[in-house]
Amino acid sequence: MINVEHLNIRANRLQIAFCLFVFAVSLIAFWPASTMVHMAPSAKSHLSYRAIQGSIWNGSARGVAVDGIHLGDIQFRVNPFLLLRGRLGGSVSLAGGDVTGEGSFSLGLGRSIDLKNVTAVVSLDMIDSVFILGAPVTGQGQIYVDRLSLSKNGCLKAIGSLSTDILDRPLARFERAPLALSGPIACDGSTFIASLAGVNRDGAMDIGLRVSPDFRYEISAGVEADDEQLSFALISFGFENNGAKLVYNSVGMIRGVKT
């Protein structure tokens, strides 16, 4: 027999819990967005900004820079109902800085992050002390992410693509045609991978990037070129001739954009 009184008590508890949640959200909604900076004092030495407006649920920050990377103006909107699932998420857009774009994000326990519908353009000029074929890194990287899920255990799901003109300036030093690179991103087990390729009138190139959960990376590149001068230049910069094409391999640890 169904205990009606027990059901009523349970329903009342759910109503009370929901009301408390709504009250808490309503109360916090009026907290200024600058509260987030004060809640993370360890980040202050790496973070600078001109102004922060709005609430922690719907606000904006102007003139934001992190570790010397100019992010420009940021607008964000947090979805409070994701908190019921133990996640913090919403939408964000960036403009006027080294990175411009928009997308949705979700952060969870265990250092998990989920990105959806992200379109962004990254200025590669912000990368210091890195040279390609003797020329400093310049150009742009374009990112489209339909879905990217990462956790402390590595890559969970990756659907999207990358493209860049990073080789245009180095090739121009040798009076060669621009070479745009593009290709998909994916997960290989827990390892994040990106495969880029491009062709111009002087030859073809492919680049593979693998990043493991411990932030170790592997870069492999292959170039097919009949140009003797360009081949000699590539060999002088670390490429090896394996007979079929010139190849380059590198491994290391990701320690930050500025390293």
Residue 184 lies in a domain: yes
pLDDT band at 39 (very low <50, low <70, confident <90, very high): very low
In sequence order, what are the residues at sequence separation of 6 or more whose Cβ sits closer than 8 angstroms to the Cβ of residue 190? 153, 154, 155, 156, 212, 213
In sequence order, the β-bridge partners of residue 186 are: 193
Residue 189 lies in a domain: yes
Residue 221 lies in a domain: yes
**Residues 119-130: b if buried by 16+ CB within 10 A, e if exposed:** ebebbbeebeee
Domain containing 13 equals 1-30
Give start and end residues of each alpha helix (H) in the chain. Answer: 4-28, 35-38, 168-172, 228-236
pLDDT tens-digit profile of 175-213?
Answer: 889 999 999 999 999 999 999 999 998 889 999 999 999
pLDDT tens-digit profile of 51-66?
Answer: 888 887 888 889 988 8
pLDDT tens-digit profile of 59-89?
Answer: 888 998 887 788 899 999 988 888 777 788 8
pLDDT tens-digit profile of 97-109?
Answer: 999 999 999 988 7
Sign of CA dihedral 21, 91, 259, 219: positive
Residue 255 lies in a domain: yes
Residue 18 lies in a domain: yes
Q: If we measure between CA atoms, which residue out of 245, 209, 164, 169 comes closest to residue 235? A: 245
Based on the structure, what is the number of domains in the chain? Answer: 2
Q: If we measure between CA atoms, which residue out of 121, 108, 195, 103 comes closest to residue 156? A: 108
Residue 4 lies in a domain: yes
Residue 78 lies in a domain: no
Residue 188 lies in a domain: yes
Q: Alpha-carbon distance 155 to 188, whole Å?
A: 8
What was the pLDDT predicted at 27? 44
